[in-house]
């Protein structure tokens, strides 16, 4: 999820800079990572959340934003996964 989050962050940053081309490229990379992850044999609850995340991403970046997402909401959602990934890599002292 941290890698997916990185691409979503890039898409948000480019969107903020009004560079729609780069924003869409990062969004498509994020979708590709989501789809590759969904193809893995994970337990159903994890796949369900990721499927819903994919749906909300598509709605926000390419749809009509029916879920009323925002840049801040996505940044908060992604931050949790980024923090968890960093904590897993951090050696205990």
Give the contacts of 15 (CB within 8 A, at least 6 positions apart): 23, 61, 71
Q: Tally the domains of the chain.
A: 1
Note down the domain range covering 81.
Answer: 2-89
Which pLDDT belongs to residue 93?
A: 58
Mean pLDDT of 20-41: 95
Taking all residues of the chain, what is their mean pLDDT, rounded to a whole number?
Answer: 91
Q: What percent of the chain has a predicted confidence (pLDDT) above 70?
A: 96
Which pLDDT belongs to residue 61?
A: 96
Write out pLDDT tens, residues 56-77.
Answer: 999 999 999 999 999 999 999 9
23-45 exposure pattern, b = at least 16 Cβ within 10 A, e = fewer: beebbebbbebbeebeeeeeeee
| Per-residue pLDDT at 89 exceeds 70 | yes
pTM of the model: 0.84
């Amino acid at each position: 999820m941290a890698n997916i989050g990185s691409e979503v962050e890039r898409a948000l940053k480019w969107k903020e800079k009004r560079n729609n081309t780069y924003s869409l490229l990062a969004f498509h990379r994020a979708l590709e990572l989501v789809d590759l992850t969904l193809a893995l044999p994970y337990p159903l609850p994890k796949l369900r959340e990721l499927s819903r995340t994919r749906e909300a991403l598509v709605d926000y970046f390419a749809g009509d934003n029916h879920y009323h997402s925002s840049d801040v909401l996505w940044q908060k959602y992604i931050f949790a996964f980024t923090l968890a990934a960093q904590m897993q890599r951090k050696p205990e002292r």
